[in-house]
Structure 1
Amino acid sequence: MAVEYHIAKNGSDLGEGTKQSPFLTINKAASVAVAGDTIIVHEGEYREWVKPKNAGLSNTRRITYQAADGEKVVIKGSEQIQNWQQVEGTIWKTEIPNSFFGEYNPYKEEIFGDWIVYNPGRHLGDVYVNGMSFYEAETLEQVQNPTKQTEVLDHWTKKNVPVHHPEQTEYVWFSEVNENTTTIYANFQDYNPAEELVEINVRKACFYPEETGINYITVRGFEMAQAATPWTPPTADQPGLLGPHWSKGWIIEDNIIHDSKCSGISLGKEGSTGNNYRTKRKDKPGYQYQLESVFLARQAGWSKEKIGSHIVRNNTIYDCGQNGIVGHLGCVFSEIYNNHIYNIALKREFYGHEIAGIKLHAAIDVQIHHNRIHDCSLGTWLDWQTQGTRVSSNLYYRNNRDLFVEVSSGPYIVDHNILTADYALDNHAQGGAYINNLIRGKMVHRKMLDRATPYHVPHSTEVAGFAVTYGGDDRFYHNIFVGDEALEDVGTAHYNGYPASLEEYIETVHQDPGDHEAFNKVEQPVYINRNAYLNGAKAFEREEEKLAEVHFNPNLKLVEEGTEVYLSVELPDDFERILGEVQTTQTLKRVRIVDAEFENPDGSEVAIDTDYLGERKLAQSVLGPISSLKKGKNYVKVWG
């Protein structure tokens, strides 16, 4: 018989867990709840790391953790610190015994791991005044006398980006750890820490099982913040502020997640399949260890029956240092939608190659749709084994880059998205179908002939083979490309010279004798037709039907009005001259390397027949993500 447990700030862990005699801590309820039970947490602030002990048994026999209806429940990985002593002026310090932190001291633990590019000794700790995060100084002197601003080279954009050193904010901290105590110095400026809410990171997570295999958990309606989460590359254990820890069937919905030092929600792998060996051992490249982690995961039971199939929906995620949502291997067969993700990895206190609003490796059959992602270092990054993945009807803006697909062989679908960054799309992959998107910004297209990565039996984690990224084997139908005089490489002209059919490709490859050498020399086919090119965007030379108004400026803007966002765009008089047909499994040719069709996750035929707003499309519809677009001025609500 299902039981309902209650937790309240006036409760006791010696109580019965009823509404009349509630528990005091969520962990007490977590220790006794079993499949089918519900844990209801009442209003208040809970400073604990919730560690679910028991699993649900199926999608209908879950263990549900939820905030009481209409009540604000906050779970924090921090503790309030009140014993601050004034050093001089606006500089204060506090001395804390190391026993306060236990075995995990965030002021001793540095940002560490594979693919870290820049970290001048920064730690997992943080200091907050009234919820505002400080910046960590590199020296005690910087707390008093900030140094000049510096920049770091972004490996992908090849541009210098500002590093938010203490001089860019007046609120800074620095720590010293000895054998017995941790001393934190902070510049509070006009605040008196004795009179304000001052908190520091203490715990690694807010809601994360210590054991793997804690399946079928629902987490609903909480605010969670201020956790000392570690750097989470794909070759390491990947704990987040919130996450299932290598389990199956979680539902994470209607939460507010913020101020995680590194990752907000993690759907990622666990430590036994590799834990920063490239950085620790230094004997092999991270690429090699990542390959090994795939096979170690298979040996550890990585399959649809045991791992993944999570739902992450209706969450607000912001102010995280590395990722809003992260996951390698553990994210398979999941659905991520209706989330609002922003201000990810903008502090730049540290930097590496595993940063994005959503950063997934091995996103097999993952469906990412109807998310609002803005003001991030990178919007969405799908890296390795992007297969059966669909990125649909997402809104991207004010990101340094919007979408990046890397070393994957498909098939994957990117449809009905709005991408507006100057750097809209990184395509270091093959086997993609880009359909009915609005893309304002450049696209960078690269081959990766030195890194063969796995591909899979369709809708499975079973490895079918390996392939390098030859580039091409892409489909671009019914997109609107918008250029800008300050931007290059907008459109599809970078595919010039590529064959336009598989038959042409095969004929060209076999003109010369040999085996694999010939395939490295010949470009893969591309399938490009019925796209619009505006304001300097350039078309593939062999595109037969297109709308090319290269001198027409659509004055594209995204306008925020409170919680709503509107698309403002002007389209040329002949915009409706070319229409697009509904693309399906039948019209989208199979991808060459994987020899697989474009399908739904259940293996059924896919039909790209619903627009950005959820409207069913006619047999022929206008180009772009919204079926109601028309010539002249358009002003359409796209969020809220």
Structure 2
Amino acid sequence: MNTRSYANGAPIILPDGTEFPFWQDETEYRRMYYVDQQHPGASDGNSGTEEAPFLTVQRAAEVVEPAEKVLTKSGIYREWVQPRRSGNGVDEMISFEAAPGAEAIIRGSQVLGAKWTNSDVARSVSVWAVDLPEEFFEGDHPFAVVNTTEEDFEIMRWARGERGRIPHTLPRAMVFQNGRRLIQLGSCDELPRVAGAFWIDVAHHKLHLNPFDRTNPNKVIMEATTRQYLFNPQVKGLGYIRIKGLTFEHAGNGFIRSGNGAVTTWGGHHWIIEDNTVRQINAVAIEIGAFTDERSESGDREVLEKRTGGHLVRGNHVSDCGTGGIQGTMVPRSLVANNHIHDCGWQEVQSYLETGGIKILLTLDSVVQCNYIHHCHAAPGIWIDCANRNSRVCRNLLHDIAAANGAIFFEASNAPNQIDHNIIYNVEGGSGIYQRDCNRLLIAHNLI
């Protein structure tokens, strides 16, 4: 299963018989900027050469121009990268890449270095507590905002029955013990009996936890999320950007349908997101939709379709995401292929109807193919949701999917679309392939 055969002359055919509008990076990069936090002379005041590298990826993002590349060397970069500008076309892209052979990790957490003491609230020798900084409970910090706000429920009217329920009412924070994710609980009462769990005392700015293996937290590395996003321009409409070979982890983002991806194109066009690892995310890992804020966005669909999309999302390893792996609201002319997606849905919020290994909607001329998706719980493997046109789901391998909507779910679309040549097995709670409220949907040559 390899979409790269397309480059060897085998086109991807859409349901109407036309070819998918494939493209690729044709840039001859004129300049390289280097980021290397392990270099003794690294500084954001440097010129960004290999001999005088930047300290942060963000500094490189501020200066990089079209036809230039940012190469990040090994290290853990605790930051939110916000690109400032677009590339100019397929021959003048801007690229953010791991340096050859490097393990460059962009991490949205920080180490909790304060001293832990036994909790005086839980009254258990197994439960520890630490005071958190005031800034953890201000603004859009993951400890300060719940997973689904009242504003979010006003947009997602179909999910309003979830109001007041855990985990929607819990903060977006995540906590890790030596890299292992703990479970957030809704009260301190349960904590003594649940190892590997934590509770946030918002009123007193304290974190209480029962570590894995009854470990003293002063003797291990404890980390907590301090950022909702890891790579997000916050400038709408940037295009011709490439992200390759980086690792993104520990994002404390929320459950809103649009504008919540840890790595997101933020309503942009012609991004290549390839060969990255995205893991341990509170909600959605990668987002590629035209919409970023459904509270204020509106407009003609045809206009949005022309100025957004055209993304290539391929070869990524996405895992351990609370609600979804790859998502997007309005996704025209995009290819999602050769991604390995697993262990998504651990937040157990299937009933709010926004979960999935891959969940995209309002697609046009888009293709989801050759992805390997498995062990998703409370989330379908692939969900193509609402008003899709001339799009295709093919040559995917899905197994061990536990979801009410099944492994592949195609919904509410009345134009030609196609599901073909997929292999599906070990599905619990739903069908191998499930369509609802669709017309002119071709389902053929699948092994279930």
Q: Which TM-score applies when normalising by structure 2?
A: 0.83
Alpha-carbon spacing, 1:44–1:4, altered in 2? closer, same or farther (3 Å): same
**SS class of match (1:419):** strand
Alpha-carbon spacing, 1:300–1:16, altered in 2? closer, same or farther (3 Å): farther
Listed one character per residue, the Cα deviations across residues 316-363 of structure 1 (whole Å, up to 9, x for unaligned) are: 10110111011001x211000000001110342785201100011112
Q: Distance in 2 between matches of 1:108 and 1:262?
A: 16
Listed one character per residue, the Cα deviations across residues 358-380 of structure 1 (whole Å, up to 9, x for unaligned) are: 01111211111100011112111
Alpha-carbon spacing, 1:101–1:46, altered in 2? closer, same or farther (3 Å): farther
Aligned counterpart, 2:44: 13
Listed one character per residue, the Cα deviations across residues 123-147 of structure 1 (whole Å, up to 9, x for unaligned) are: 21011111111111111111124xx
Q: Distance in 1 between matches of 2:329 and 2:244?
A: 23
The answer as to 2:176 corresponding to 1:128 is yes
Alpha-carbon spacing, 1:95–1:222, altered in 2? closer, same or farther (3 Å): same
How far off is 1:83 after superposition? 1.2
Listed one character per residue, the Cα deviations across residues 565-597 of structure 1 (whole Å, up to 9, x for unaligned) are: xxxxxxxxxxxxxxxxxxxxxxxxxxxxxxxxx
Aligned counterpart, 1:339: 339
The answer as to 2:274 corresponding to 1:266 is no
2:387 partner letter: Q
CA contact (8 A) 2:176 2:222 kept: yes
Q: Spell out the pairing of 1:443-454 with structure 2 (5 A cutoff).
A: none
How far off is 1:102 after superposition? 5.3
Aligned counterpart, 1:424: 432
Q: 1:187 aligns with which of 179, 203, 210?
A: 210
**SS class of match (1:362):** strand
2:34 partner letter: H
Moved more, 71-80 or 82-91: 82-91
Aligned counterpart, 1:81: 112
Which structure's relative contact order is higher, taking Cα pairs within 8 Å and 6+ residues apart? 2
Alpha-carbon spacing, 1:246–1:41, altered in 2? closer, same or farther (3 Å): same
**SS class of match (1:6):** strand
Aligned counterpart, 1:373: 373
Q: Distance in 2 between matches of 1:102 and 1:300?
A: 39
Aligned counterpart, 2:390: 388
CA contact (8 A) 1:239 1:268 kept: no
Q: 2:264 aligns with which of 224, 236, 243?
A: 243
How far off is 1:174 after superposition? 0.7
Q: Distance in 1 between matches of 2:398 and 2:293?
A: 35
Q: Distance in 2 between matches of 1:135 and 1:80?
A: 18
The answer as to 2:433 corresponding to 1:410 is no
CA contact (8 A) 2:290 2:304 kept: no
**SS class of match (2:76):** strand
How far off is 1:105 after superposition? 2.3
Alpha-carbon spacing, 1:297–1:228, altered in 2? closer, same or farther (3 Å): farther
Alpha-carbon spacing, 1:102–1:221, altered in 2? closer, same or farther (3 Å): farther
Structure 2 unaligned blocks of 5 or more: 1-28, 119-123
Aligned counterpart, 1:472: none
CA contact (8 A) 2:363 2:387 kept: yes
How far off is 1:406 after superposition? 0.8
Q: Spell out the pairing of 1:312-331 with structure 2 (5 A cutoff).
A: 312-329=313-330, 331=331
Q: Distance in 1 between matches of 2:350 and 2:180?
A: 18
Listed one character per residue, the Cα deviations across residues 267-303 of structure 1 (whole Å, up to 9, x for unaligned) are: 124445436xxxxxxxxxxxxxxxxx6xx24279403
CA contact (8 A) 2:266 2:292 kept: no
How far off is 1:100 after superposition? 4.9
CA contact (8 A) 1:360 1:383 kept: yes
CA contact (8 A) 2:61 2:83 kept: yes
The answer as to 2:59 corresponding to 1:28 is yes
Q: Distance in 2 between matches of 1:80 and 1:323?
A: 26
Alpha-carbon spacing, 1:130–1:272, altered in 2? closer, same or farther (3 Å): closer
Alpha-carbon spacing, 1:58–1:300, altered in 2? closer, same or farther (3 Å): same
Larger radius of gyration: 1
CA contact (8 A) 2:136 2:144 kept: no
Q: Distance in 2 between matches of 1:39 and 1:322?
A: 30
Q: Distance in 2 between matches of 1:386 and 1:176?
A: 44
**SS class of match (1:438):** coil
Aligned counterpart, 2:304: 302
Listed one character per residue, the Cα deviations across residues 146-166 of structure 1 (whole Å, up to 9, x for unaligned) are: xxxxxxxxxxxxxxxxxxxxx
Q: Spell out the pairing of 1:139-154 with structure 2 (5 A cutoff).
A: 139-145=187-193
2:145 partner letter: E
Aligned counterpart, 1:254: 275
The answer as to 2:356 corresponding to 1:356 is yes
1:3 partner letter: R
Q: Distance in 1 between matches of 2:350 and 2:374?
A: 20
Q: Distance in 1 between matches of 2:109 and 2:175?
A: 9
How far off is 1:196 after superposition? 1.4
Aligned counterpart, 2:399: 397
Q: 1:175 aligns with which of 200, 224, 244?
A: 200
Structure 1 unaligned blocks of 5 or more: 146-166, 276-292, 440-640
Alpha-carbon spacing, 1:308–1:349, altered in 2? closer, same or farther (3 Å): closer
**SS class of match (2:263):** coil
Alpha-carbon spacing, 1:407–1:49, altered in 2? closer, same or farther (3 Å): same
CA contact (8 A) 1:172 1:186 kept: yes
Q: Spell out the pairing of 1:605-624 with structure 2 (5 A cutoff).
A: none
Aligned length: 390
Q: Spell out the pairing of 1:452-531 with structure 2 (5 A cutoff).
A: none
Q: Distance in 2 between matches of 1:2 and 1:93?
A: 52
Moved more, 32-41 or 415-424: 415-424
Q: 1:4 aligns with which of 32, 41, 45?
A: 32
Equivalent pairs: percent with the same residue?
Answer: 26
How far off is 1:101 after superposition? 6.4
The answer as to 2:226 corresponding to 1:218 is no
